[in-house]
A and B are shown apart, each in its own frame.
Chain A
Amino acid sequence: MTEPVDTTPSRWASGVTGIVFPVLVVLAIITAIWYAVCVPMNIHGAVQSAERAGVVVIPEDAKTRREMGGVALALQNTGEISDVWSQDRPRLPAPHQVAVELWKTTVLKKVTSKRSLIYHGWITLSATLLGFAFGTGLGILLAIGIVHSRVMDMSVMPWAIISQTIPIIALAPMIIVVLYSIGVQGIIPKAVISAYLSFFPVVVGMVKGLRSPDAMQLDLLRTYSASKAQGFWKLRLPASMPYLFTSLKIGIAASLVGAIVGELPTGAVSGLGARLLAGSYYGQTVQIWSALFAAAILAACLVAILGVIERVTLKRMGMA
């Protein structure tokens, strides 16, 4: 008999390959679908430019082509399919076009350039962070009030919920106009909209977190004749930390949406929202999509940073 030899890779390695492979497969599938969808979306444009270049296309009548479905047109003009991924103004830009645009407007542009996504990203990020700070602070204060006062619970909570049922796209222009009329403009109105979106998850999470200690925990403090303040600092606040971080992650994503929405109605000249708007004015779909991706990447980074802070904090508290 020989000892069985452990040929399995270490848990870490198998864990990583076990995750990386499926993730890559999903990514590949999404990309493939995207490339495929480009065909029916862009074939009209590709056929039209081929016709202008003198190529014989089927059917020859432009009006008939316009009324045709993308798939049918592509099947009749297979020679033009390769052009759908390289048009200047496609209806749906291909993934590599967006990637190239992202590369050109971040790495290859000076950050001070008006066409740099880093520049526009920073404009949006600064409003996001300011609004997030406002929103988090307001959310925590409201939650403390709600937990400690029945009157606040009954009076503030319903308004907080109602506030989130109004579409922000309807409210944002009003906030900006009202603030402009009293002389406030620039970063503040955008931050206000960010705060408006981000305070809510913080309130809900913190109320739940501050109320998470059970009756036994509260009775224990009563047997020590602890004051309300001691109960807050020693029990309620530390107990609420995991809830707070969950809320913050939702809140920061909402903040970013708020800042972008805040840039739309003003005809702003800078910020990711302005890039989106300008792109749609001039039919620059590649620009729209690269601004969208920049926003998504920014949001992912912000949530990831919060995730790291969460892990470090909870670990230091002995809670993770």
Chain B
Amino acid sequence: MNTSPVIEARDLNLTFETNDGPVQALKDVNLTINKGDFVSFIGPSGCGKTTFLRVMAALEHPTAGTITVNGMTPDEARRKRAYGYVFQAAGLYPWRTIARNIKLPLEIMGYSRADQDTRVEEVLKLVDLDGFGGKYPWQLSGGMQQRASIARALAFDADILLMDEPFGALDEIVRDHLNEQLLELWARTEKTIAFVTHSIPEAVYLSTKIVVMSPRPGRITDVIESPLPRDRPLDIRDTQAFLDVAHRVREGLRAGHSYD
């Protein structure tokens, strides 16, 4: 496995100026994400996990420290189309069919018509939505809509996928299914994935690396390299190795809260 760093954060700090005074969303964050990693960020609300993801995407800018994405600043990386971003809500345009929703980034980035069509076909297959291109979002279930939004993020060949609680609004049964599919998709496409979640089982099941964060100020309290194999059936969640990792995550979360 090639292990060149894709994302590198050094002494990253970010302070929001609010009416109640400054809020430190990120404090002295150091992290390296290697190519092909599946990294989960877990922690309670306000721990800065989403903020960190937004910094990678250049949606927020750090007040101190450095971060590089593919060796570039996040802004440059965005212009080079280094990443696709998946939000908590699918955010599909109700006036566009699924296929045309997936075309949205391609239109904006100026791909040719023919190229757009072949890419839409490809990514629809990738997320198992073959044949749904002509449907409108309201005709699809919540899980299918979220898959369509993942397809939209994959359509333009970004090798990094930034996912902000993409399955947070879905029920657990659908979420299990999508987790399985996401792992499959990750194995097939060899993307680097940064994934924000609230769920310990989800983080442990999906990740090669789990970043545990805690709030006030937002910081990293533990980074766990998962000992689980890359090939993971759903029932791996009943094994001792899985439970051990989950336990360590829980410990890390508790430690972060201890001096609240």
Measured CB to CB, the residues of A under 8 A from B are: 216-217, 219-226, 230, 234-235, 238-239, 241, 317-319
Contacts and interface: CB of A to CB of B under 8 A. Distances in A.
Contacts of B79: 225
8 contacts: A220-B91, A223-B85, A224-B105, A238-B95, A241-B95, A318-B94, A319-B94, A319-B95
B127 interface: no
Nearest to A318: B136
Contacts of B84: 223
A318 B85 contact: no
B71 to A, nearest CB: 19
Contact of A234 (B59, B87, B104): B104
B95 A318 contact: yes
B89 interface: yes
B216 interface: no
A221 B105 CA distance: 8
A216 B104 contact: no
B78 interface: yes
Interface in B47-105: 57, 59, 78-79, 83-85, 87-89, 91, 93-97, 104-105
Given A216-B87, A219-B59, A318-B136, A224 B95 contact: no
A82 B44 CA distance: 81
A229 to B, nearest CB: 11
Contacts, number: 47
B122 interface: no
List 3 A-B pairs, minimum CB-CB distance, nearest first. A317-B95, A318-B136, A223-B85
Contacts of A230: 108
A238 B101 CA distance: 13
Nearest to A241: B95
A318 B83 contact: no
A223 B83 contact: yes
A220 B87 contact: yes
Nearest to A234: B104
A21 to B, nearest CB: 33
B158 to A, nearest CB: 9
B78 A225 contact: yes
A223 B95 contact: no
Contacts of A217: 91
Given A219-B87, A318-B136, A235 B59 contact: no
Nearest to A231: B108
A235 B104 CA distance: 10
Contacts of A224: 104-105, 108-109
B95 A234 contact: no
Contacts of A234: 93, 104, 107-108
A225 B77 CA distance: 11
B59 A216 contact: no
Contact of B78 (A223, A235, A318, A319): A223
A224 B57 CA distance: 10
Nearest to B100: A318
Contact of B108 (A221, A239, A241, A318): A221
Contacts of A216: 87-89, 91
A319 B95 CA distance: 6
Contacts of A226: 108
B228 to A, nearest CB: 30
A285 B12 CA distance: 81
Contacts of A235: 93
Contact of B59 (A222, A239, A317, A319): A222
Most chain B Cβ neighbours within 10 Å, of A223, A224, A241: A223
Contacts of A219: 59, 85, 87
A104 to B, nearest CB: 48
B85 A220 contact: yes
Nearest to B152: A220
A221 B87 CA distance: 12
A234 B95 CA distance: 10
Nearest to A222: B59
Contacts of B104: 224, 234
A234 B103 CA distance: 11
B108 A223 contact: no
